[in-house]
Amino acid sequence: MLITFVLFIGTVRYRPTTTIFMGLLFVSFVILAGGTWVGRKNAIKAGGWFSFFASLVALYNSFAVVHNAGYSPIGNFGKVGAKFHRKSHQPEDAAAVV
């Protein structure tokens, strides 16, 4: 739980979805620890739901990072195609080459 809190503090300025994920995960750990300590099954169920929603945010975050970083083949055809275009192989200043 403490490591998750330190990671939450570190992600505050990174991405909002990562911050939300770490915050939900920290809250779920707090609720799970408290529910286990007191012995309340409803608190343990609530902590499980917070963990479930944290996993959904983590899934969304991982898809967003992969697709925005250009690692995905979907939607990156312009970047890949520009590498093989004839104009990209010509020097920038054609007069300097002659």
Residue-wise pLDDT tens digits, 17-58:
889 999 999 999 999 999 999 999 999 999 999 999 999 999
> Residue 85's pLDDT band (boundaries 50, 70, 90)?
very low
2 has a pLDDT exceeding 70: yes
> Nearest Cα to 44, choosing from 56, 55, 33?
33
pLDDT at 51 (0 to 100): 94
Average pLDDT taken over every residue of the chain = 78
pTM metric for this prediction: 0.65
SS3 86: helix
Measured distance CA(8)–CA(24) in Å, rounded = 9
Which structure tokens are listed for 60? 């969304």
Which structure tokens are listed for 27? 């809250």
Measured distance CA(42)–CA(32) in Å, rounded = 10
Return the biggest CA–CA distance within the chain.
83
pLDDT at 84 (0 to 100): 47
